[in-house]
Chain A
Amino acid sequence: MVRAVHAEGLRFRYRRGRGLALDGLDYGQERGEAVGLAGRSGAGKSSFLLCLDRIIPNFHAGDFSGALEILSENISGKSTYELASQIGLVLQDFESQLFSTRAELDVAFGPENLGLDRKEMARRIDDALAAVGMQSFRDRAPESLSGGEKQRLAIASVLALAPEIMAFDEATTDLDPLGREQVRSVIRDLKKQGRTIIIVDHEPEGLAAADRISILSGGKILTSGPADRMLSDPGMLIANGIRPPEMAQLFSALKISPVEIDPGKAAKIFKAGNISPDARALAQIAERGQKERGAVLIKVDALEHIYPTGNRALAGVNLEIRAGDFLAVIGQNGSGKTTLVKHLNGLLGATRGGVIFRGMEVRPQMVSKLGREIGFVFQNPDHQIFQSRVFDETAFAPRNYGLSAPDIKLRVQKALELVGLPGRDNENPFLMTKGERQRLAIASVLSADPQVLILDEPTTGLDYTEQLRVMDLLAELNRQGRTIIIITHTLWLAARYASRAAVMSGGKKLVDGGVREVFSRPEILKQASLIPPEITRFGLEMGFPFLRVEEAVSALEKKS
């Protein structure tokens, strides 16, 4: 029988890497099987995928050993392009995978390299675009597409080489919820057609498409099993940096089995057993959420922004942010979230309307001055880190503001302590993990001691453990009295941590208010193509919009 993938004792160390990226990894996958690979950042998932079409060791230098067969053929000594028609690789960064001016030309690129004739090329292009539902996009410029469409186009351009195996390396990580669902639906379709599939993902929703899930740790497979069984084991998932489905957490905490992962079906099980939430517990939860709000700090007044391209990114947004708020701005890409928050510290100037901060109008000339009061952490920490020492990176802002050397030292120490990087002053930021670099980026803004902290998607690309770490840090800063504003696509995270939420869609603010109040209105979220977190959906079926699993556990454990 032909096996899709068979690996034995794969070892790899990147030339400048500190440890082994792969440490004797054994792996087997049948044809037609869909396997999910998960594990902490640095567990070896991506490195393993790169071995499959020999980008490791052909392009990434290092020590490589072990045996690897693709479709029962030993691939040692093969070139990457020779393997392109056996295994297709879709990467996280969809921007770098597209380089043409017309969608069909990106799809044609692979068949052209294979030297196919026109007739065969035409068939391949048609089939590949149809497989991702983009037949009508063939003449569109890829740059005009949304993130989800771009990633689907990247998938089509790999499919055009007709590989039997498709490997997805965090292909949905950089997408908004709508784009994620589009790409996941393409993956499910490919699976139905019998293709062999490998999915690397941090999210349980992405892993759910797999038949089997293998957990990687320290460069080898730690454990492996059927997807539904693996996703029902919250303890094991959390221990490996993977977010467990919220229903699995609930069932496990209440010691109910078997686990039902779908919130609607789970609610039915509780109802059938005549279990309803405890009224006293619900009253307590509701009361705990009532937090006295501070004075108005930022007032956004009929804010409109039109980019030089003519794109109207904001159309009359009103919003009040009060001292001590923890606000989550949610919505799809292109809904105006980032444009909105960039007005708060003057990075962008209003076309009409304006922003008042502490009674003073915010203007673009004030950006660097306002940095002492409003800190802004950008989405990609690598867009701001430039020093070769953690200390210097963190000291950049206070130095810009002309503080004395002892003051700077104090500020840096305090900031590094807050983000959990104390005593690492002399380390090189570029050798840190992505999660650490994200926290360093926060420290380097905190060192200016701003009262307001704005963060654009602070958890993108981090594993579950790192996500919680960053969010716990923000919660702590909020408790100390700082006002926190985050942009996020991750609704469970907003539910767990934020006190308020503002929903953006098409440059307009659909609603803002307390998180529980906003999330208990799925019809409004739907207008922004968002759905509430699983625990909230479950809660709405049960009559109370839970925001955290612990809330549901406390309200249900007495009854079950």
Chain B
Amino acid sequence: MSGFLYIEQESFFRRLHPSGKIIALALVFVAALMLDHPLYMLALWAIAIPAGILSKGFKLLARLKFLFLAVCLASFILWATFTREGAPLFALGAISFTREGILFAAGNALRLGLMLFFGLCFIASTPIEDLYYGLVKLGVPFPVSFALSLSFRLVPIFSESAAAILQAQKSRGLKVSGNPLAKLKSYFPLSVPVFLSALRKVDQLSIALEARGFGAKTKRTSWIEFKFSRRDWLLLGLCLALDACCIGLRILGHGVVGGQGGP
């Protein structure tokens, strides 16, 4: 299993300035938040596809597909269940579903998925060193940037030790199946060792960091260097244009379920 979410492969996005990528990510989030109609979301997804190819984001998506689908599906179900406005379409027991509710839920699930996907494209093409370099250049203090970047590094480490712990408990007769409550209960024998081994790892890591001069008062230098190039400006220009379009549509009342200002 790969220890990183970052995909170790040359790509167009990999060579871009990390600060530019961070701003671009924020800009596409703004675009996505302007609209919520599923059809418009699908149009935005059409833009996401080349981004996925240029950044190897699809490779990371393939690795996390179940988590990704679960999050999108959960979002859909929640919005569809709790949106009351609009004409009722059908009912399941006491819960009735409306046309607007379904549309709104579909739009929101697509939007959440889209934002997650852009996030994946970013993570897949940005090693953690580039991430904290980019954040520092944007004025975020180094310790904060470093801690944030490192959290991405720790996710796969924790999931690896969780897998080992699951095997250990299964060998002692633990059954992870049955109804959701029983399942939740059976995760207790896993959570304690996972939590403790994570704590131990973080403790060791912080010792190793300090012993290598982390936190020194001198101004930190950087071995990696990026220069803002025409490609970076191009990316930012495209993202700004996208924002302008989405904001314009929103002002004109397009792209949202139920017209002006949403449902």
Contacts and interface: CB of A to CB of B under 8 A. Distances in A.
Interface of A: 50, 53, 55, 58-59, 79-82, 84-85, 88-89, 91, 93, 95-97, 99-102, 104-105, 108-118, 121, 125, 141, 143, 154, 157-158, 161, 309, 342, 345, 347, 367-369, 371-372, 375-376, 378, 380, 382-387, 396-397, 400-401, 430, 444-445, 448
Contacts, number: 177
B174 interface: yes
Contacts of A384: 165, 168-169, 172, 193
Given A112-B220, A141-B8, A375 B150 contact: no
B172 A383 contact: no
B197 A309 contact: no
Interface of B: 1-4, 6, 8, 127-129, 150, 153, 157, 161, 164-165, 167-175, 188-193, 196-197, 200-201, 204-208, 210-216, 218-224
Contacts of A445: 171-172
A96 B204 contact: yes
B216 A396 contact: no
B214 A88 contact: no
Contact of A386 (B3, B188, B208): B188
B171 A110 contact: no
A53 B211 contact: yes
Contacts of B165: 383-384
Nearest to B154: A99
B221 A375 contact: no
B175 A400 contact: yes
Nearest to B206: A59
B220 to A, nearest CB: 6
Contacts of B214: 81, 109, 113
Residue in A111, A143, A383, A444 whose Cβ sees the most chain B Cβ within 10 Å: A383
A58 B161 CA distance: 29
Contacts of B167: 342, 347, 378
B220 A378 contact: no
Given A59-B210, A396-B172, A112 B193 contact: no
Contacts of A101: 4, 6, 8, 127-129
A101 B125 CA distance: 12
A345 B128 CA distance: 39
Given A95-B157, A101-B6, A115 B207 contact: no
A386 B172 contact: no
B21 to A, nearest CB: 16
Given A367-B171, A383-B161, A384-B193, A84 B211 contact: yes
A383 B127 contact: no
A309 B59 CA distance: 13
A113 B212 contact: yes
A554 B202 CA distance: 51
A261 B188 CA distance: 51
Contact of B173 (A79, A109, A372, A378): A372
Given A109-B212, A114-B216, A309-B1, A59 B207 contact: yes
Given A114-B216, A158-B211, A400-B173, A91 B204 contact: yes
A157 B212 CA distance: 8
Nearest to B211: A89
B211 A88 contact: yes
Nearest to A109: B212
A121 B174 contact: no
